[in-house]
Amino acid sequence: MPDPAPVPGPVPVVLVGLMGAGKTTVGRKVARLISQPFVDADVELEDRTGRSVANWFADGEDAFRSAEADLLASLLAAEVPLVIGAGGGVVVRSDNRARLSDGAVAVVYLHGRPAFLASRARVKAHRPLLTGDPVEVFERMYAERDGWYREVADTVVEVRPAHDAGEKPKWRLAQQVVEALVALGAVHPSRVTDADGVRL
């Protein structure tokens, strides 16, 4: 009887999408379900440089995007493959899109309509682009970035309002992401656990 085929190792998983799509919250849950470490890219940049995103933007968006690109390259090359919640504008630079499209990374686009995402996003100091009318800002960013998100994405998962008060939409989304990753072959089914860490 032939030996069973080895289980393929994990690959980096990157969640992309506009702010408010749930990249951090859902990403943490995805990481838990597939037993990989999670990194929020914006938080990691602040931790590594000692500068907030807003502080980077004070030097101009180009300075921030350059630092963001260096960080993405570093995270994708990590010894232990990560689940990465990318910044909403990571796809603005062509070199980032090339890195995300090279086939060694599984990219999930958390897609939501601008008005819905605007209703979820909070105005925080680390979101310097969110000034003015939120819906208009989101519609503008969506028009600019949706095509780029789809360009790099291996799969698209829809972000929708919860249907009832008892629903747990973030866990539902995380499970949908994991199912998509398994279907892509990016995650082996034997690596998937439930929310309590029990292998399924």
**Is 174 inside any structural domain?**
yes
Q: What is the pLDDT of residues 36-65, one digit of tens each?
A: 999 999 999 999 999 988 888 888 889 999
**Is 3 inside any structural domain?**
no
Per the structure, the complete domain to which residue 85 belongs is given by 13-190
Residue pointed to by tokens 């970035």: 145
pLDDT confidence tier of residue 125, bands split at 50, 70 and 90: very low
Q: Using an 8 Å Cβ cutoff, are 175 and 195 in contact?
A: no
Q: What is the pLDDT of residues 163-179, one digit of tens each?
A: 655 557 889 999 999 99
- Comparing 56 with 73, the larger pLDDT belongs to 73
Q: How many domains, the chain? A: 1
Q: How many CB atoms are closer than 10 A to CB 159?
A: 23
**Is 199 inside any structural domain?**
no
**Is 67 inside any structural domain?**
yes
Q: How many CA atoms lie within 13 A of 89 on its CB side?
A: 20
- Comparing 156 with 61, the larger pLDDT belongs to 156
The percent helix, strand, coil of the chain (3-state, each to 5) is 50, 10, 40
**Is 195 inside any structural domain?**
no
Q: What pTM value is reported for the model?
A: 0.89
**Is 8 inside any structural domain?**
no
Predicted local confidence at residue 123, as pLDDT: 46
Cα dist from 64 to 2, 12, 45, 56, whole Å: 53, 23, 10, 5
Distance, CA of 30 to CA of 193 (rounded, Å): 10
CATH number for the domain harbouring residue 99: 3.40.50.300
Distance, CA of 133 to CA of 136 (rounded, Å): 5
